[in-house]
Structures are given as C-alpha cells and as structure tokens.
Amino acid sequence: MPYFDYASGSPVDERVIEAMLPYMKQHYGNPSSVHSYGFEARKAVEEAREKVLSLVNGKNGDIIFTSGATEANNLAVIGYALRNARRGKHVMVSAVEHMSVINPAKFLQKQGFEVEFIPVNKYGEVDIGFIEERLRDDTILVSVQHANNEIGTIQPIVEISKVMENADAALHVDATASLGKIEVDTESLKVDMMTLSSNDIHGPRGVGGLFVKEGVRLQPIILGGGQERGLRSGTENVAAIVGFGVAAEIAKKEWKGDAEKMERLRDRIIENVLKIEESYLNGHPKKRLPNNVNVRFSYIEGESIILSLDMEGIQASTGSACSSKTLQPSHVLIACGLKHEEAHGSLLLTLGKYNTDEDVDKLLNVLPGVVERLRMMSPLYKAKRG
C-alpha cells in the first residue's frame, strides 16, 4: 500500500530494531544503578549520545535525550526563557513553527514575556529583516525551524545566525523535519539549541533530543532525579535511545543517497499533479525538503481527498498530524497568506526512503480521478462551470 505520510510516522529500520532488542530482553538494567547491569545500560546511552552528536556535528555541545521533539521544543523555549529571564523577556518565534513551539511561546506570554511572531512570505520563508529590526538588548531567544514540516520550505538559518551574531540572544532551531533529508550541521548553522527526532530518521517513536551548545543554560521543565544532565528527569528509555543512536549512525552514512531518490520522486509527483486544473504548489518551489509535496486544489477539501485516497489504498495527509484533530485550517498556510477556503483544499505527501516508483505510479493514476469526482460533487465547482 503506497504510504506518503512519513512526516507523521515512519517505519523503524530493521537494523535499528535488531540493535534495540537486546535492551528489551537481556540488558534491562537502569542506567543510574551502581552495578554491572546499570553500567552496561549507561554505556549504551552514552554511545548513542555520541552517535547522535556525530550526525549533527555537535562537537561543541551535548544531547539531552527527551521523549520526542515536542518535549525538546518545550525544554528549549520554556527552559531557556525561564532560566534567562533576568536578562530580558523578549522572545521571537516564527509564525510557521510547529505547535510544540507556538504553544510554549503562548505559555510564555502568560508568564509575562513579550513574544513576537516573525512573519513569512508567500513561500513560508521568514522575514530576516523583521528579526534584524526587532532584535533588542532584552531579546533572549529566537526560534526558527530548519525546514517546515508541512510545506517543506527550508529556512535561511545561516543568514539568521549572521544577523544575530552580535546579539545577546540564543538561536533555537527545530530540525525535526530536516534531519536525514538535508545536511544538518550545528557548527555551520551556528545554533545554540537544536531539536531532533528519532522516528523521522527511521528510529523508534517516543525518543528525541535537544542539542545544547556548550555554555547555554536551561531550566528543567520535568523535575525528579535529574537523569539527563540534570535537565530531564526520568529513567532513560535505554532501548529507544539505543535505537535513536543506530538510526543516527545509519542516517549519517545513507542520507544523501536516500535524499536523491526522494527528490526524484518528489519532482515527478509535483510535475504531474500540477497538470490538474487549478492545482497549486504550497511552499517554496526550489528551497524545499526533498521529500515534501504540498499541493492545494480549488473547490474541494483536503479531508475528502485523504479519505478517497485511503479507499484506494494510498495513505497521505492534509497537514501536521499534531493538529489534525482540529477543524481549523493550517496556521502555516494562513501565515503564508492563503484564504481559509484555499488552505482547506491542501494535500500533503511526505516521502521516505522506502517509497518506490510503483508507489508514485499508483498515486498519479488515482489522484486525478479523485479530484475530478470530488469537484463534481462541489456546488462551488458546479457554479463555476455554469
């Protein structure tokens, strides 16, 4: 069954599963225990940490393992702001961030912080001029994602870091969508914090990480035994962390080849789908992730497209899975200037390394008929045709 929803959930690489199994069966010690089983678990955690750091060239920092990207974003935004509030309370966050950044930013507003949302152009690119103009002495944090998980637009992080080089503010980058798809290098991007996700590189769900540059200070948001460098309490999920490490090790060796394949399939989909009458590409036409296709169709709704494709054995999405339970249009597409009715007609296809030309063949064979059938049921389309 063709699967085009890798941004929501990816299959775990068989090599990762194989590496995890011993830590579910034989090596079940607690990394904090002072005996041989505990030492063995601790060693496995630290080896995984080094593998993840190596993937992102994090030689000048550390990885704090979390339950996923959402917790890592919360730790970065809330943890940094609360720890550094004495220096200032001005925070900037891009308007197209994942909700696990947007909602923590709104939480900070309720705590007395001044939060400004950085506007974007029609392609979803942040306004660097806005950042430069709004930077102040009391600005402590700027959060901009590396690439958007919905529309695939890659943000100009290097240019943003240059604008901020003389400012006393930290730069946090959410690299959940970009890891394993494009180069992710903490040194060249000059970030202070970076959010990472295991499942997005075919590791297990339920584990992620926050890269923290040396010298950056955070306040923990989960209190307890202080297991992860005193910043994230709770017994480590050793098996999942081991899996994350192996997935990172594999991604470091294979991501370029995987990305080339996904980009070829992506371009083939975009070229053919845009042949459908009144279809439009969302996001940047060039500066986009190699696995992302986000298109919209006039007169129909994305949910109807998804259900129709599912009946044909094709899995896809309309936007971020984290906000799919709401009936509201994508905040990302609205920020890009689309009207509500335009945003509701979007189809999101995210590819992975296991997709094939046969998957694309079936999609391109089925989708035009689905769009035509749904439009024939639409009063707006009928009115347009007269």
Q: Encode pLDDT of 302-354 as tens digits.
A: 999 999 999 999 999 987 544 455 567 899 999 999 998 888 899 999 999 99
Single pTM value for the model: 0.94
- Alpha-carbon distance 371 to 277, whole Å? 10
Strand partners, 365: none
DSSP calls for 128-173 = HHHHHHH--TTEEEEE--SB-TTT-BBP-HHHHHHHTTTSS-EEEE
Q: Which of 12, 221, 322, 334 is catalytic?
A: 322
Whole-angstrom Cα Rg for the chain: 21
- Alpha-carbon distance 251 to 10, whole Å? 14
- How many helices and strands in the chain, by DSSP H and E? 15, 10
Set out the domains of the chain in order of their start, with CATH numbers.
14-251 (3.40.640.10), 255-385 (3.90.1150.10)
- Alpha-carbon distance 350 to 294, whole Å? 8
In this predicted structure, what is the pLDDT of residue 27?
Answer: 92
Tokens representing 50? 């080094």
Half-sphere exposure of 266 (CA within 13 A, CB side): 26
Residue 67 has pLDDT above 80, yes or no: yes
Summarised one tens digit per residue, pLDDT across range 221-239 is 999 999 999 999 999 999 9
Residue 192 has pLDDT above 50, yes or no: yes
Strands (E), the chain: 61-66, 90-94, 114-118, 139-143, 170-174, 193-197, 208-213, 279-281, 292-297, 346-350
Catalytic annotation present for 336: no
Mean pLDDT of the chain: 95
